[in-house]
């Protein structure tokens, strides 16, 4: 029996008892092999071949797809996607944290109402919500009408079809994915820890900063992953709200399959995206583990 040196992670360790978990893991492992390892393996296999004239794969070995990946054009798009998705994630964290904190502090009845309100937009079709933003942001849209009506601006401000509009669209789309895991981690916090801090003389702000905030970081990191991963690969919002002038990795992958019919290069880009995201998740897991299980920092 391993001992835990931190109260926040008691359950995680008790599972590791030799081969006992194998029967329990098997369904999950089979699922992973069938739906993750095999498709990704196939994707990796395709990256070493040539494109067929009408799509498909011509089985002539080549490294061209991997070389092409390092052309400045593609590196630029990848970096741009990381920056845009990163900004979206940061903003989602800044907005989502107070939201989740507030929801966790509500009475059970209102908490349910608030959570439903957070999830509700997901019940409407994603494209419809995207088009709604077009109606809001365009030159004759509501936002410009209000700004002009209130006398804040004289002429319409061009908001649609800019990188900023993409950030707004992605932020709106994925904010709930930040709020929910944050809420879950904040709600699970043992209130007695905060009480202890207060009893020992900490101000509410200090109690938040030294107790609540560090303990909610794993939830925040999970939220960041939940937002960053889909934001990186979204291609509809850059096209509809961004006007197709700023493209992200998701658009590149889509275009390779549907427009260029270059499946091998599309596969290479998709695989790269997968690798990047796996790295991000590995880092996140390591950081969370360190925070919850590692020695307490001074």
Q: Which residues of the shown chain bind another protein in the complex (CB under 8 A)?
A: 53-56, 73-74, 76-77, 80, 138-140, 158, 160-161, 242-247, 251-252, 255, 258-262
Burial status of residue 85 (CB atoms within 10 A of its CB: 0-12, 13-18, 19 or more): buried
Shortest Cβ distance from residue 63 to another protein (Å)? 17
Nearer of residues 162 and 210 to another protein, judged by Cβ: 162
Nearer of residues 51 and 194 to another protein, judged by Cβ: 51
Which of 76, 4, 62 is closest to 262 using CA atoms? 62
Nearer of residues 24 and 258 to another protein, judged by Cβ: 258
CB distance 190 to 215 below 8 Å: no
Nearer of residues 21 and 55 to another protein, judged by Cβ: 55
Shortest Cβ distance from residue 135 to another protein (Å)? 9
Question: Which H or E run includes 32?
Answer: helix 22-32
Nearer of residues 179 and 262 to another protein, judged by Cβ: 262
The residues pairing with 58 across neighbouring beta strands, listed in sequence order, are: 50
Shortest Cβ distance from residue 12 to another protein (Å)? 43
């Amino acid at each position: 029996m391993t001992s835990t040196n931190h109260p926040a992670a008691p359950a995680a360790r008790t599972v590791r008892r030799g081969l006992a978990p194998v029967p329990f893991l098997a369904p999950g492992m089979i699922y992973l092999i069938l739906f993750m390892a095999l498709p990704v393996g196939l994707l990796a296999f395709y990256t070493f071949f040539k494109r067929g004239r009408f799509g498909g794969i011509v089985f002539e070995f080549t490294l061209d797809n991997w070389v092409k990946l390092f052309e400045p054009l593609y590196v630029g798009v990848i970096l741009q996607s990381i920056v845009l998705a990163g900004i979206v994630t940061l903003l989602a964290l800044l907005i989502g944290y107070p939201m989740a904190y507030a929801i966790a502090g509500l009475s059970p009845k209102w908490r349910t109402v608030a959570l439903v309100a957070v999830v509700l937009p997901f019940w409407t079709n994603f494209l419809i919500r995207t088009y709604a933003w077009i109606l809001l942001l365009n030159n004759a849209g509501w936002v410009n009408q209000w700004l002009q009506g209130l006398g804040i601006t004289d002429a319409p401000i061009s908001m649609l079809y800019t990188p900023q509009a993409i950030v707004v669209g992605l932020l709106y789309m994925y904010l709930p994915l930040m709020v929910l895991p944050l809420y879950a981690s904040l709600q699970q916090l043992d209130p007695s820890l905060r009480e202890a801090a207060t009893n020992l003389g900490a101000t509410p702000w200090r109690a938040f900063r030294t107790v609540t905030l560090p303990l909610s970081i794993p939830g925040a990191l999970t939220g960041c992953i939940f937002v960053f991963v889909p934001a990186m690969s979204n291609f509809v919002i850059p096209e509809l709200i961004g006007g197709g002038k700023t493209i992200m990795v998701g658009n590149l992958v889509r275009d390779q399959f549907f427009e260029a019919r270059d499946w091998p290069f599309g596969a290479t880009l998709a695989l790269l995206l997968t690798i990047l995201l796996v790295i991000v998740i590995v880092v996140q897991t390591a950081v969370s583990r360190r925070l919850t299980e590692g020695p307490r920092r001074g």
